[in-house]
Chain A
Amino acid sequence: MINFQYSRPGDIADAVRQIAADPRAKFIAGGTNILDLMKYDVERPAHLIDISRLPLTGVEETASGGMRIGALVPNSDLSYHPLIEARYPILASAIRAGASQQLRNMASTGGNLLQRTRCLYFYDVATPCNKRAPGSGCSAIDGINRQNAILGTSDACIATHPSDMCVALAVLEAKVHVAGPAGERVIAFEDFHRLPGKTPERDTNLAPNEIITAIELPARGFAKNYTYIKIRDRHSYAFALVSVAAALELEGKTIKEARLALGGVAHKPWRNKEVEATLNGQPATRESFRSAADALLRDAKGFGHNDFKVELARRAVVRALTQAAQGTPQSQSNKKIV
């Protein structure tokens, strides 16, 4: 591992001052992603600012009936929090689908949003990668791209965002609270992560001198009709090939509102609100689900090794909407998909 300076700011303002003062500094919280990347020479910070002891570990109810989750709440604690399990089970389920319990014990809520892609070429510093070395080219487009994206790609990058938790947060329309030198601001979840475009080196719209302080969940948790399905190369402890978070509000057998987000297929959790809206007022049937899935994947494009993801995603969307409508969410321990 490379050498670096280490500091431990006393409060959030101090953390923001330190990161703003040193362009080669990075925050470390759980450390599960940045230390891994540093061991591979992908990240080379000259200074790690340890924010792990800042007082950002609360999980509290908000005045508007939602919840506010401190940025340093470990993923495992969040997924087992009684109010999260009861009111936002789609979030608890998605978190448990990711990583291992050891990693979930370490990884922070804010850090989960900021984890980098696991694209093979981003990790392999001997190969060109526009995300790691802007302008060097994309090795994945003509390379081993089984894990890579099929939606929202660009000529510069076909990486995917690796998080499971973020797919659920996209469906729940969470808000990201951040602090910076100019004060605090709130970023809607759909505006937090970016598509690669010509600047794949930027994963998010968080400024380099800002810190995530909390995630806010709106009141609606879709606790009755939801599921999180994750399809991967082994049953546990693997990144998604395709994952789907589906949430429905039903009136009898009619869909009043549908929300869908896909993981493993794009540079950010993938939502298409136009397609979701076509489900509103429709019967909760396989035919409705299939036509939504077809519309959602209409512009999907594979790059060879990942061509199978287009049909896999279609079928996963139908299955997820079926599970959500039946009120039979996917178990994350018994992996049978029903």
Chain B
Amino acid sequence: MPPTSRTPETEISLPDKIPITLTVNGREARLKLSPWVSLLDTLRDHLNLTGTKKGCDHGQCGACTVLVDGRRINSCLTLAVMKDGAKVTTVEGLAKDGVLHPVQQAFIDHDAFQCGYCTSGQICSAVGLIAEGKAQSADEIRELMSGNICRCGAYPNILAAIQQAMGGA
């Protein structure tokens, strides 16, 4: 079979790359990006911060969770150009002066992961949850962590880790 030639429905001229500034883990990053680059791909492919994982790339698994201006969001469903000027915290930015963040330490203490692929998203999500201050009971923690899927099923230990980090256990 000869290759079929495809003509676009309408000519679209490629837009210029857009200059943006992000403060990622306290360091300013100046980037020039096409508008369709997600925040997730920006972190991984342009800033070499591969701690943030691409799971489903559709906002269904939570592996890409990061904190933007202090709030947890799915970086896969965010265009980097929309966040020009924002402060982004990824899992790489949680430890301070070589000391793990209390949530990171609690995940180790409670063995709150198996394969580890969802873990950076779980940890960033838990940091966001604690900052929100809306979860007190185990039920509330489970509900407000439901955007982070763990296919290994480490949920009981993830819950215990978050309770420890909240100062409960």
Q: How far is the CA of A101 from the CA of B67 in the complex (A)?
A: 12
Flag if A3 contacts B36 (CB, 8 Å). yes
Tell me the minimal C-beta distance from B59 to chain A in angstroms: 6
Contact A102 B35 (CB under 8 A): no
A103–B72 Cα gap in the complex (Å)? 9
Q: How many residues of A contact B (CB 8 A)?
A: 35
Q: When the two chains form their complex, are residues A236 and B146 in contact, meaning their CB atoms are under 8 A apart? A: yes
Q: Are A105 and B58 in contact (CB under 8 A)?
A: no
In the complex, what's the smallest C-beta–C-beta distance from A269 to chain B, in angstroms?
Answer: 23
Contact partner of A105 among B72, B143, B145, B148, CB < 8 A? B72
Binary contact track B81-98/A, C-beta < 8 Å → 1, others 0: 110000000000000000
| Chain A residue, CB-CB nearest to B75 | A102
Stretch at the interface among B8-16, B22-30, B99-107, B161-169: B8-16
Complex CA distance for A235 and B142, rounded to whole angstroms: 10
Interface residue? A303 (CB, 8 A): no
B74 at the A interface (CB under 8 A): yes
Contacts of A4 in B (CB 8 A): 12, 15, 35-36
Tell me the residues in window 301-338 of chain A with beta carbons closer than 8 Å to chain B beta carbons. Answer: 331-335
A106 touches B73 (CB 8 A): yes
Q: Which residues of A contact B51 (CB under 8 A)?
A: none
Contact B74 A106 (CB under 8 A): yes
Contact mask for chain B residues 59-83; partner A; CB cutoff 8 A; 1 contact, 0 none: 1001001000001111001110110
Evaluate contact between B132 and A101: CB separation under 8 angstroms.
Answer: yes
In the complex formed, the residue of A with least CB distance to B57 is A39
A46 and B12 within 8 A (CB): yes
Report whether A101 and B12 are in contact in the complex, using a CB–CB cutoff of 8 Å.
no
- B129 CB-CB contact with A under 8 Å: yes
Residue A14 at the chain B interface, CB threshold 8 Å: no
Q: Which residue of B lies closest to A79 (CB)?
A: B134
Partner of B139, one of A52, A100, A102, A333: A333
Candidate in A2, A99, A333 with the most chain B CB atoms within 10 angstroms: A333
CB–CB B73/A102 < 8 A: yes
In-complex Cβ contact of A101 among B35, B137, B144 (8 A): B144
- Does B34 reach chain A (CB closer than 8 Å)? yes
Shortest C-beta distance, A64 to chain B (Å), equals 31
In the assembly, what is the distance between CA of A335 and CA of B145, in Å? 15
**Scoring A residues 28 to 47 as 1 if CB is less than 8 Å from chain B, else 0, what string do you get?**
10011001100100000010
Q: Closest CB-CB distance, B108 to chain A, in whole Å? A: 24
Q: What's the Cα separation between A100 and B57 when bound, in Å?
A: 15
Contact between chains at B144 and A39 (CB < 8 Å) = no
| B143 lies within 8 A of A332 (CB) | yes
Against B, the Cβ 8 Å flags (1 = close, 0 = not) of A94-113 are 00100111110110000000
Q: Pick the contact of A39: B58, B62, B134 (CB < 8 A).
A: B58
Q: Can you report 28 residue pairs joining A to B where beta carbons are below 8 Å apart?
A: A4-B12, A4-B15, A6-B15, A6-B18, A6-B81, A31-B79, A32-B77, A35-B78, A39-B58, A46-B10, A76-B132, A100-B62, A100-B147, A101-B72, A101-B129, A101-B132, A101-B145, A102-B74, A102-B147, A103-B59, A105-B71, A106-B73, A237-B146, A237-B147, A331-B139, A333-B137, A333-B144, A334-B137
Interface residue ranges, A against B (CB under 8 Å): 1-6, 24, 28, 31-32, 35-36, 39, 46, 48, 50, 52, 76, 80, 96, 99-103, 105-106, 235-237, 331-335
